[in-house]
Amino acid sequence: MTGGALSQAEAFARIRLLRSPNIGPVSYAQLLARFGTAAAALDALPDLARRGREAYRPAPAQRIEREVEAVRRSGARYLFHDQPDYPALLGELESAPPILTCRGDLALAARPCVAIVGARNASAAAVKLARDFAAGLAEAGFTVVSGLARGIDGAAHEGALGRGSRATIGVIASGIDIAYPPQHADLQERIASEALLIAEQPPGTEPRGRHFPSRNRIIAGLASGTLVVEAAPRSGSLITARLAGEAGREVMAIPGSPLDTRSQGCNQLIRDGAVLVQSVEEVIELLEGFTGQPRSTFRVGEASSAFDYEELRKLEWGEARKEHGGDRIAGLLTKAPIALDELIRQSGATPAAVHMALLELELAGEIERHDGGLVSLSGASGASS
């Protein structure tokens, strides 16, 4: 089932843990840090979630057995966050997917990666630009990452697959066995066969609106830089650019006519600090030897302070319950997202205690986590798990 030293039983338990109700990447990481194994975390879940109105039940083992068989039937494999071939840059994200499914050559994710994204209803000129940029970057040794959408994404994949380079990664919002959009079924299969296809959702999952921002964070996380070729305001491509900026990666945009709404997103990105690029050589210059210090100044805000897992390990669960006061933390929250640093400051509790309280609240379905390390009571808009 896995390519690392992880046992079959623990790999199965990890999949089951992640598929259990109200478990996202952050809570998954905290549970593993606290209990050491997914099997132990699963045993502890009902007690941890006792705030909920109903008894907590982890994902049924039979459902995970069916999922594992579906992954095998599709010719895919699981990739866990702590395996050697998990993409290093993606692993730097606080919300990095703990488990991915993939088909193809994982070595492509170990090469320098650049994301190319843009409008679905792209102009003919922009489609050609995306194809040409992708081909040039692939020839220069970069892996081109995109989301297999119509328009710019599809052109980027096709450009990177051409001329014998086959250096592209397709990240999809569906399960690994679902082709979306349907008109890209052949392209998706070609990427899986000749390059690399990645999915976060379980097999059989049809894409939903909430899955696309999650997919976009993977696209941005895999790459040292994101290039937006053409994008309207408030488009998914700008979400990818924002996530790249939050992760401290390079954000680049190709300028366009102010008379074309499909260029307004790129022009706004440049105004906000993205690097204006007009040639493949300029992208290469920005990304060659990327050290984590982007030249672009495009930022949305600094991420909240990182969680100290060592502090969590030192806390006994019973003592932590007394210290963190889940009701007290919940009382400080509203449906407006707030930064963890502010919550820690106002509560007066230790960071580990606040994180422990949030974990309990999350398992009970009372809070939601948002991009940038924000949290709120359940029901706020823009939540991501």
DSSP run (H or E) holding 135: helix 124-139
Cβ-contact 170, 188 below 8 angstroms: yes
Work out whether the CA dihedral 259, 260, 261, 266 comes out positive or negative: negative
| Four-way CATH pick for 103-287: 1.10.10.10, 1.10.3720.10, 3.40.50.450, 3.20.20.80 | 3.40.50.450
pLDDT at 63: 97
pLDDT at 299: 63
pLDDT at 92: 93
Cβ-contact 375, 360 below 8 angstroms: no
pLDDT at 42: 95
In the chain, the amino acid numbered 154 is: G
pTM greater than the 0.75 cutoff:
yes
Note if the bond before 203 is cis, omega within 30 degrees: no
Decide the pairing of beta strands 99-104 and 77-80. Answer: antiparallel
Work out whether the CA dihedral 356, 342, 298, 152 comes out positive or negative: positive
Decide the pairing of beta strands 168-172 and 143-146. Answer: parallel
User: What six digits make up the tokens of 328?
Assistant: 């007290």
Work out whether the CA dihedral 379, 180, 131, 151 comes out positive or negative: negative
Cα–Cα dist 135/359, whole Å: 45
Question: Which residues on adjacent β-strands are paired with residue 251?
Answer: 226
In the chain, the amino acid numbered 280 is: V
Cβ-contact 253, 269 below 8 angstroms: yes
Shared fold status for 103-287 and 309-377: no
Domain ranges of the chain: 8-85, 103-287, 309-377
Cα–Cα dist 279/124, whole Å: 18
Cα–Cα dist 205/112, whole Å: 30
For residue 99, the SS3 value is: strand
- Angstrom CA distances, 103 to 78, 156, 171, 332, stand at 9, 19, 11, 44
Cα–Cα dist 353/9, whole Å: 31
Cα–Cα dist 315/334, whole Å: 27
User: What does the DSSP 8-state code read for residue 22?
Assistant: T
Q: Greatest CA separation found in the chain?
A: 63
User: What does the DSSP 8-state code read for residue 278?
Assistant: -
Q: Which fold has domain 309-377?
A: Arc Repressor Mutant, subunit A (1.10.10)
pLDDT at 3: 44
Q: What residues contact 78, with CB distance under 8 A and at least 6 apart? A: 1, 2, 11, 15, 71, 99, 100, 101
Helix 351-363 / helix 25-35 crossing angle, nearest 10 deg: 120
pLDDT means per 10 residues in the chain (385 residues)?
Answer: 73 97 91 93 86 79 97 97 96 94 97 96 94 96 97 97 88 96 96 97 93 94 97 88 93 91 92 96 92 77 46 45 60 83 81 80 83 76 38
Cβ-contact 134, 156 below 8 angstroms: yes
